[in-house]
């Protein structure tokens, strides 16, 4: 009997504690979820050095990680209350729609097609498609230099096809599952160049500045935004304000310099926040 009474008391105590903890529905605005739950799940890439990378010891580093951490802090969520989740180009929209993540900060270019499925804050960074080459390949000065050469990109992506269709019809396309595979092939001399956004390439150049360089001639415009669920104007506005504060207080520039500066790639100025 005494054991049953003790168990009943414990149940009551647990119930009272849970009554005091704020709960938030996945359908609540982002600001409400951050305030009530006290944590956020943020989708990032795990394989983009300089932008967002999971290190061998389990840490997350890079410019995108710094941006996401700053935004979460402005929403009232400290770094130790952020859950990092890997998101890919194929799953970003479904991750947001399902509530698997609250935000996506993952080299996520703002496009009209994507805006039909998600909302964007930002942009927080502006870049463009470029080429990563070996430091010794001084004759590769732009995409038109690639006729007869091997160009690497990831399977199912469009940047390499854009080079072939618009600049170098005789380029030979090589595909690998992930960009680190392309970089390994470039270092081994198996391909002549890698193409994707300049910011992504700069991260790889920063890892191997004595061997690799970014050509530095962009031939597209990519505006990276922070993705959040559609129909949350208050959340988008709060994230926009957080990005503005990160820029105005200098943390944006300091993070960019620390993470991509070693690549020697010319760093762009802070963008104008234009999403509404």
Asked whether residue 198 falls in the same domain as residue 162, the answer is: yes
> Quick check: is 275 in a domain?
no
Q: Are 209 and 154 contained in the same domain?
A: yes
In tens, the pLDDT along 20-30 reads 345 566 678 89
Q: Do 122 and 146 sit in the same domain of this protein?
A: no
For 12-22, write each residue's pLDDT tens digit.
333 333 343 45
Which of 196, 214, 232 finishes a domain? Answer: 214
Tokens of 248: 């105005």
Are 153 and 238 contained in the same domain? no
Percentage of residues of the chain with pLDDT beyond 70: 89
Classify residue 272: in a domain, yes or no: no
- Classify residue 3: in a domain, yes or no: no
More confident residue, 118 or 12: 118
Same domain, 133 and 116: no
* Average pLDDT rounded to a whole number, residues 147-174: 88
Alpha carbon distance 222, 239 (integer Å): 19
Q: 171 and 105 share a domain?
A: no
Q: Does 14 reside within a domain?
A: no
Domain final residue, candidates 214, 231, 247:
214
121 and 133, same domain (yes or no): no
Statement: the pTM of the whole predicted model exceeds 0.75: yes
Query: For residue 275, what pLDDT is reported?
Result: 79
Asked, for residue 17, whether it belongs to a domain, the answer is no
Beta-sheet strand order (sheet of 172-176): 172-176, 150-154, 193-197, 129-134, 212-214
Do 34 and 111 fall into the same domain?
A: yes
Same domain, 142 and 201: yes
pLDDT at 40: 97
- Calculate the alpha carbon distances from 155 to 111, 163, 168, 175, 178 in Å: 21, 15, 19, 5, 8
User: 55 lies in a domain?
Assistant: yes
Nearest to 39 by CA among 74, 81, 73: 81
Report how many domains make up the chain: 2
Domain that holds residue 197: 129-214
163 within domain boundaries: yes
Token pair in block for residue 230: 């559609």
- Asked, for residue 268, whether it belongs to a domain, the answer is no
pLDDT band at 100 (very low <50, low <70, confident <90, very high): very high
CATH (domain of 251) = 3.40.190.10
């Amino acid at each position: 009997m005494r054991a049953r009474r003790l168990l009943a008391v414990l149940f009551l105590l647990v119930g009272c504690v849970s009554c005091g903890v704020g709960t938030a529905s996945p359908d609540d605005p982002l600001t409400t979820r951050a305030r009530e739950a006290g944590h956020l799940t943020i989708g990032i890439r795990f394989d983009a050095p300089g932008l967002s990378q999971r290190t061998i010891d389990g840490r997350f580093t890079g410019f995108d990680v710094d941006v996401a951490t700053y935004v979460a802090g402005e929403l009232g969520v400290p770094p130790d209350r952020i859950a990092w989740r890997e998101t890919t180009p194929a799953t970003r929209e479904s991750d947001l729609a399902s509530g698997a993540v609250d935000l996506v900060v993952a080299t996520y270019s703002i496009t009209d097609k994507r805006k039909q499925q998600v909302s964007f804050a930002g942009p927080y960074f502006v870049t463009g498609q470029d080429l990563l080459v070996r430091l010794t390949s001084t004759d590769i000065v732009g995409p038109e230099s690639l006729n007869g050469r091997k160009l690497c990109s990831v399977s199912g992506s469009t940047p390499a096809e854009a080079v072939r269709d618009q600049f170098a019809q005789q380029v030979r396309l090589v595909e690998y599952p992930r960009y680190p595979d392309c970089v390994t092939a470039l270092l081994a001399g198996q391909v002549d160049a890698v193409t994707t956004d300049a910011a992504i390439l700069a991260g790889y150049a920063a890892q191997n500045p004595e061997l690799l360089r970014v050509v530095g001639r962009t031939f597209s415009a990519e505006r990276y935004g922070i993705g959040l669920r559609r129909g949350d104007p208050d959340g988008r506005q709060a994230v926009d304000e957080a990005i503005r504060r990160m820029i105005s207080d200098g943390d944006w520039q300091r993070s960019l310099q620390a993470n991509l500066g070693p690549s020697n790639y010319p760093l762009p100025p802070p963008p104008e926040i234009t999403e509404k």
